[in-house]
Amino acid sequence: MSARNIARFWEWGRKIICVGRNYADHAIELKNAIPSEPVLFLKPPSAYVTEGSPILLPFYTSSLHHEVELGVLIGKGGTDIPQSSAMEHVAGYVLCLDMTARDIQDQCKSKGLPWTLAKAFNTSCPISDFIPKEKIPDPGNINLWLKVNDTVKQNGSTSQMIFSIPYLINYISQIISLEEGDLILTGTPKGVSSVQEQDVLQAGIDGIVTMTFKVDRKS
């Protein structure tokens, strides 16, 4: 049997663990309190979509938002991983979109229901090509941007994260054991907005990667 290829991690069926409200400017734009501990939720592997395939609008939303985020890909699993060795567990990175049905999320929040319909639908996690760890020596200080139809909507630095990557790996691994191929979405900076059918989303990490996705409706 041939060795598995980490660059095609999305085919392995591993967990997608998402961190919310990790940028103060985004928490404020949605009128949320700044968290004192990370806010976590999950997406299933069926949320992945890669370039060349569209982001599909769920039929039940009229407000699908983009959230550009740095994804941290786990290369070595563990439980209770200390912050001091957390980065040894990282294989690399991907640029991600945490597509969010914002109207549905607001309804779930007001009813005290989980965010699954808002966050975990098919194609809710568009990803870039795999970025080996060596290409981003300081993941805590890179610039993420996103354009909708050539208009810049989001542009923020990972230096604004409330909880650092080592903190998140330590925190998450005390609750959910991490496995090779798991992906951690680290939260989004301000500027989220809704997208429509046929919109073109471009996103990038300055000097490292770009990606393009079209929004479409399921035929």
Ligand X SMILES: O=C(O)/C=C/C(=O)CC(=O)C(=O)O
- Site residues for ligand X per CB under 6 A: 18, 20-22, 26, 30, 32, 67, 98, 100, 105, 187-188
Residue 110, number of CB atoms within 10 A of its CB: 8
Residue number, 103 or 180, with CB nearest to ligand X: 103
Q: Of 169, 197, 172, 170, whose CA–CA distance to 57 is shortest? A: 197
* Residue 30 interacting entry, from Mg ion, ligand X, none, C-beta within 5 to 8 Å by type: ligand X
Q: Which residue has the closest beta carbon to ligand X?
A: 20
Stretch touching Mg ion by CB under 5 A, among 38-46, 60-68, 146-154, 173-181: 60-68
Closer Cβ to ligand X, 91 or 118, answer by number: 118
Q: Among 188, 189, 195, 204, which residue sits at the site for Mg ion (rule: CB under 5 A)?
A: 188
Cβ proximity to ligand X: between 26 and 147 the closer is: 26
User: Cα dist. 63→59, 69, 128, 152, 192 in Å?
Assistant: 11, 19, 23, 19, 11
Residue 21 binding result from Mg ion, ligand X, none, given CB thresholds of 5 to 8 Å by partner type: ligand X
Q: Within 10 Å of residue 28's Cβ, how many Cβ atoms?
A: 13
Q: Which residues make beta-bridge pairs with 145?
A: 155, 204
Q: Please, which residue, 7 or 117, has the CB nearer to Mg ion?
A: 117
Q: How far apart are CA 32 and CA 28, in angstroms?
A: 6
For residue 8, the minimal CB distance to ligand X (Å) is 25
**Least Å distance between CB 26 and ligand X?**
5
* Distance (Å) of CA 204 to CA 5, 74, 106, 160: 23, 21, 28, 17
Strand partners, 156: 144
Tell me: does residue 67 bind Mg ion (CB under 5 A): yes
Q: Cβ neighbours of residue 10 under 8 Å, at least 6 residues apart?
A: 45, 48, 50, 127
Q: Which is nearer to ligand X, 11 or 175 (CB)?
A: 175
| Count of residues that interact with Mg ion, criterion CB under 5 A | 3
Site string for Mg ion, 123-142 (x = CB under 5 A): --------------------
Position among 70, 90, 98, 123 found at the interface with Mg ion (CB under 5 A): 98
Residues 193-212 that bind Mg ion (CB under 5 A): none
What are the distances in angstroms from CA 208 to CA 8, 107, 144, 149? 18, 37, 10, 21
Query: Residues interacting with Mg ion, by CB under 5 A?
Result: 67, 98, 188
